[in-house]
Amino acid sequence: MTPKQLKIEMIKNDVRPVDIARDLNVTPVAVYRVRDRQSKSKRIQRAIAERINRPVEKAFPPKKKAA
């Protein structure tokens, strides 16, 4: 999923980054950065994927390598 698609799914599922941040004891900015692919955190990726009812691999597919 693209960051935009993730944001839409989070809104549809009433998932707020601030709630994820509070549960994981991280800053909301950390959650935004992971969602927008500016940073990586398996723990935050897992939390986002669980809350939008998607497997982590679908929500955060690996980047395709340039040829």
> Which CATH number does 3-59 carry?
1.10.260
- pLDDT tens sequence across 1-52: 999 999 999 999 999 999 999 999 999 999 999 999 999 999 999 999 999 9
Q: What confidence score (pLDDT) does residue 6 get?
A: 94
Contacts 24+ apart (CB under 8 A), 38-41: none
Q: Where are the domains of the chain?
A: 3-59
In terms of Cβ atoms closer than 10 Å to its own Cβ (0-12, 13-18, 19+), residue 47 is: buried
Identify the pLDDT of residue 66: 62
For residue range 44-60, what is the model confidence (pLDDT) as tens digits? 999 999 999 999 999 99
Our measurement of the distance from residue 8's CA atom to the centroid of its chain's CA atoms, rounded to an integer in Å, reads 11
Cα(44)–Cα(53) distance, integer angstroms:
14
Rounded Cα distance between 39 and 33, Å, is: 5
